[in-house]
Amino acid sequence: MSIDQMEAVAQAMVAPGKGIIAIDESSGTIKKRFDAVGVPDSEEHRRAYREMLLTAPGLAEHISGAILYDETIRQSTKAGVPFTQVMKDAGIIPGIKVDLGAKPLAGFPGELVTEGLDGLRARLNEYVELGAEFAKWRAVITIGDDMPSSTCIDSNTHALARYAALCQEAGLVPMVEPEVLMDGDHDIGTCYEVTEATLRSLFAALYEHNVMLEGTILKASMVLSGKDCPEQADTAEVAESTILCLKSAVPAVLPGIVFLSGGQSDADATAHLNEMNRLGPHPWPLSFSYGRAMQQAALHLWAQDLEGNFAAAQKIVVERARDNGLAALGQWKKVA
C-alpha cells in the first residue's frame, strides 16, 4: 500500500459517524469473557461468536473497521466465506492485533511492557496477504504508588514507534494504543498527568522513528477518575479533561483518534464520546474502537441460546454501533 493509500485507509477508519469494533480478544481474554457468561471456550464457539458479530445486518452503517485476532483472521463463516471477504464485501476494513501481550517489565514490579517486535516484519507481511489493512498494538500503563515510571512509559512508547514504522513499511496503517488503565483509586487529575506524559513520549518516539502521522491512528484511553476513587468525575469533566489532554499532546496532523472503552459501562462510554464531540469541532475526528462497550450486551444475549438468539444478538450489536456512531457526531440522545 502506498503512502496515499495508507492515508486514505486511516481517514476511512474515522469517517463521519463511523468507528471500529474491537473483536481481537486474545485466547486468554476471550476465554475469560466466555467463562463469565457460561459459554465453553472452543474454536467453534469463538468462530460462531465472531461470525455473529461480523455478519450482523447493517453493521457497516456505523462501523468502518474491525480488529481481528490471529485465529479470527484465518477463519470463515459456517458457509465457508473467509471473514475478511465478508468484511470487504460489507465495506468493513479488516484490522489485526499484532502485539503478543503485556508482560512484566523486569526491574519494575507491577509495571508492564508489551512484547511482539521480534519477527514482526514477517508476521505483518503475512497479515497483508490475509487481507489486513490496519494493525493494532496495545501498551498498558498502570497508575499506582510511584507508578508509572518513566522507564515504563518510554519502553512502551519506543516499542509502539518501532511497531508503527514496521507497519508502514509493510503498507499497514498502525493504530497505536497506549492504554492508561482505569484500575486504582487515583483521581482524574492524576489520570490527566499520566495520559499527557504518555502521549508526549509516544509522539516524540513516533517522530524519532520516522513514522508518518498522516497514516497513523491513535487509540486513546479517556481521562477518567480511577475505578476505586471515591470522587467520580462526571461526564462534562471527563469530556473536557480528555479534550484538553489530547490537544496538549497530539499533533493536529493525525487523521483521527478513537477511544477504547477500558471497562466503562456501555452508557458511560457512549455518553463520554458524545459529550466530547458536542464540544467540537476539534483538530481530529474523535470516534470509538470499543471492545467490551460494543459487545457485552450482545454476548450476554447470545450466550443464553447460541443459535436461537443469533439474530437478536446481532440486532443489539448494531444498536450499539448506531449509538456510538451518533456519539461520534455528538448527536446521541440518552433514552430516559
Contacting residues toward ligand 13P, per CB under 6 A: 22, 24, 138, 177, 260-262, 290-293
CA distance 191 to 196: 8
The distance of closest approach from Cβ of residue 93 to ligand 13P in the complex, given in angstroms and rounded to an integer, is: 15
Q: Which is nearer to ligand 13P, 68 or 233 (CB)?
A: 68
| Cell, residue 47 | 468462530
Query: Is residue 259 helix, strand or coil?
Result: strand
- Return the number of the residue (259 or 284) whose C-beta is nearest ligand 13P: 259
Q: Answer yes or no: 136 catalytic.
A: no
40-68 exposure pattern, b = at least 16 Cβ within 10 A, e = fewer: eeeeebbbbbbbbbbbbeebbebbbbbbb
Element housing 137 (H / E): strand 134-141
Q: Give me the least distance between CB of 326 and ligand 13P, in Å please.
A: 18
The CB-nearest residue to ligand 13P is: 291
Q: Cβ 177 to ligand 13P, closest distance in Å?
A: 6
Using CA atoms, how far apart are residues 293 and 207, in angstroms rounded to an integer? 32
Which of 25, 111, 177, 196 is the catalytic position?
177
Which residue pairs, CB below 8 angstroms and at least 24 apart, start in 39-47?
A: 39/302, 39/303, 39/306, 43/71, 45/306, 46/71, 46/72, 47/72, 47/75, 47/76
Residue ranges of alpha helices (H) inside 74-225 are: 83-90, 120-129, 150-170, 188-208
- Return the SS3 of 178: strand
Nearer to ligand 13P (CB atom), residue 50 or residue 292? 292
State yes or no: is 88 an active-site residue. Answer: no
User: Least distance to ligand 13P from the beta carbon of 289, Å?
Assistant: 6
Q: How far is the CB of 166 from ligand 13P (least distance, A)?
A: 19
Closest to ligand 13P by CB, 22 vs 321, is 22
C-alpha distance across the termini of the chain, in Å = 46
Report d(CA 259, CA 223) in Å as an integer: 11
Output 283 or 300, the one with its CB closest to ligand 13P.
Answer: 300
For the annotated catalytic residues, the residue numbers are 177, 219
